[in-house]
Amino acid sequence: MYPAAGRGPTLAAMTDVLRRGRASLALGFFAQGVAFALLVTRIPAIQDRYGVSDALLPAFLAAVPVLAGVGSVATERLVRRSAPSSVLRWSQPVVLLALLGVGAGEGMAGLAVALGAFGLAVGALDASMNMLGVSLQRSYGRSIMLGFHAAYSLGGILGASLAWVAAHGQLPLVVSYLPVVGVLLPLCLVGSRWYVDAGGAVAREGGGGGAGDGAVVLRVLLPLCLVMTFAYIGDSTVSNWSAKYLQDVLGGSEQTATVPYNVYMVTTLLGRAVGDRGVRRYGAVAVVRGGALVAAAGFAVVAGAPGAWAGMLGFTLLGLGLCVLVPQTFAAAGRLFPGASDAAVARLNVFNYAGFLIGSPLVGALGDAWSYRGAMLVPMVLILVPLVYARSFETQPDRYGGGHERPRTADVGRGSNGV
């Protein structure tokens, strides 16, 4: 993995490897953001193309996170025999090709196959990406996870913007998806050459000490699992229902209905772009608590919005609040289990999809039985639960924040405690 130089690689050589690995992983997050946004922002168009009824739509939406959870569990087993980079290298192309299949398929069966492939591959993709991100953060010795998720948000902005153009021009799904896949697929294959597994390899070999040395204790991980679940209930509400909510409840047009997710991703990008600095300065606990409060305020505004533009304000607040929760939850799992970070990330990632599985059908069912405005109050309450578990994000033993950030010198090859 590292260039030879006498008795070992020089610090400059290791730093170059880390930088390339960080850039290539950011590209992977970016591509995933584009693909996911192109899928979720065109749900009304997908529904119309395949004739999926409102009653059947939640079942289709629920199938993706269920299969993604299966993919994440499988990844935990796969990385015992191969590096996370290997899983990421094959899962990213499958996700992109499955997206193309959603646009080009014929009939309900074709849609089911494409969404099934998308779900399984996206579970492996999300788990392996975050494994590499956690191990790189350990190697850097400072908070960088929010930066990777910022790249995802940037991809989401591009994907939502392209979806708006396609909806405005009334382009067929396959016409809007094909150029994107044609560009991203070769870029991801080339970029995968520079993935870095070194930090994860140290963890798999048992380097460092801590609460999770060699094993993941569910009782310790459980608070983070709950935070991940509630964060993704909020996120899935935006991604799966924002377009329909703006169009059907707030009276927006089909073109306007693609905007809330774009606004959400823009504010998510802004929050994540500065989030690592916030964590280093104020600590993860304060950042998580602030994010939960802002997100709850966003849901309250969405629920009471008198029109489309007021709804946009709510989605803006949601982006600023929710953006910090997921990256910090993955990072906290890596710190709690330095000797088994890959396994911790894979298991925690399952609750990502549990949140999607619960959130999307829950909002749909409440919307049909009660009202979609009332349905928005449920994630508003749930997103406050992280306030109870914020102490699980205390930055130990690698104290990013509060004046305890480790030096910027890379420490690849050291144990998780940097010794």
- Listed in sequence order, the residues at least 6 apart from 354 whose beta carbon sits closer than 8 Å to its beta carbon are 65, 69, 228, 229, 232
Structure tokens at 140: 């850097």
CATH of the domain at 267: 1.20.1250.20
pLDDT for the residue numbered 25:
96
Structure tokens at 235: 């996120």
Cβ–Cβ < 8 Å for 51, 111: no
Cβ–Cβ < 8 Å for 74, 123: yes
As a residue count, the chain comes to: 419
Cis amide prior to 397 (ω within 30 degrees):
yes
One pLDDT digit (tens) per residue for the chain, 419 residues: 444 444 456 777 778 889 999 999 999 999 999 999 899 888 888 988 898 887 888 788 778 888 999 999 999 999 988 899 999 999 999 999 999 999 998 888 899 999 999 999 999 999 999 999 999 988 888 889 999 999 998 998 899 889 989 988 888 999 999 999 999 999 999 999 999 985 444 334 433 334 444 578 788 899 999 999 999 999 989 877 888 898 889 987 777 877 887 788 889 999 999 999 999 899 889 999 999 999 999 999 999 999 988 998 999 999 999 999 999 999 999 888 888 889 999 999 999 989 888 887 789 889 989 999 999 999 999 999 899 998 888 765 444 444 444 444 333 333 333 32
What's the domain count of the chain? 1
C-alpha span between 193 and 136 (Å, rounded): 16
Cβ–Cβ < 8 Å for 356, 58: no
| Domain assignment of residue 406, yes or no | no
pTM for the whole structure: 0.83
C-alpha span between 385 and 392 (Å, rounded): 13
| Domain assignment of residue 141, yes or no | yes
| Domain assignment of residue 200, yes or no | yes
pLDDT for the residue numbered 419:
24
Place of tokens 């997921």: 326
Nearest Cα to 42, choosing from 131, 160, 130?
Answer: 160
| Domain assignment of residue 281, yes or no | yes
| Domain assignment of residue 415, yes or no | no
| Domain assignment of residue 73, yes or no | yes
Residue range of the domain that includes 263: 11-393
**3-class SS at 105?**
coil
Place of tokens 């109050």: 377
Alpha carbon of 166 to those of 141, 170, 171, 173, 262: distances in Å? Answer: 43, 6, 5, 8, 14
Nearest-10 Cα torsion for 382, 74, 18, 328: 10
| Domain assignment of residue 27, yes or no | yes
DSSP secondary structure string for all residues of 169-221: TT--HHHHHHHHHHHHHHHHHHHGGG---HHHHHHHTT-S-STTTTS--HHHH
Q: What DSSP designation does 10 have?
A: -
Nearest Cα to 331, choosing from 78, 149, 204?
Answer: 149
Structure tokens at 356: 């999607």
Nearest Cα to 63, choosing from 117, 4, 103?
Answer: 117
C-alpha span between 84 and 5 (Å, rounded): 26
* Residue 371, φ and ψ in degrees, nearest 5: -160, 155
Which ranges of 7-106 does DSSP label H, i.e. alpha helix? 11-40, 43-50, 57-78, 84-104
| Domain assignment of residue 35, yes or no | yes
Place of tokens 């229902």: 241
